[in-house]
Amino acid sequence: MLQTDPLSATFAALADPTRRAILARLSQGVLSVSELAEPFDMSLPAVSKHLRVLERAGLIGREREAQWRRCRIDAAPLKEVANWTERYRHLWEGRLDRLDGYLKELTGKKEAKGHGRKQQRGKQR
């Protein structure tokens, strides 16, 4: 159970509202642990524990700046989440032909990297 695949580790790290709030704050820039802890009704060690979970999942990194350690977001695992979720978009968009949508997505990825084929999807509303 401890040796989880990367996507499972990402999902597990995101399964907590405090950790998601930390990521939301870091999406605006690097912050120290104490700056990060400020808005939370939580001890520094409790915040640090959440940061360790995020760090193990690769969602944040730490950098030294003079005597402070600052945290920055690393969005690469979030991209994997988006890619994974995208496979199910045809379901919630209520496509009539689910299989057709699924196949289009698969072939679209191969054939039309960066082209307009997928532009009609998802961003309409």
What residue ranges bind its own copies (CB under 8 A)? 4-5, 7-9, 11-12, 14-17, 20, 23-24, 27-29, 73, 75-76, 78-79, 81-82, 84-89, 91-92, 98-99, 102, 113-114, 118-119, 121-125
Q: Judge contact between 60 and 74, C-beta under 8 A.
A: yes
Q: Find the shortest distance in angstroms from Cβ 67 to its own copies.
A: 26
Closest CB to its own copies among residues 110, 125: 125
Residue number with CB closer to its own copies (49 or 121): 121
| Strand ranges across the sheet with 31-32 | 31-32, 68-73, 60-65
Q: State the minimum distance, in angstroms, from the CB of residue 124 to its own copies.
A: 7
Taking Cα atoms as reference points, which of 92, 90, 71, 80 lies closest to residue 11?
Answer: 80
Structure tokens at 92: 């919630």
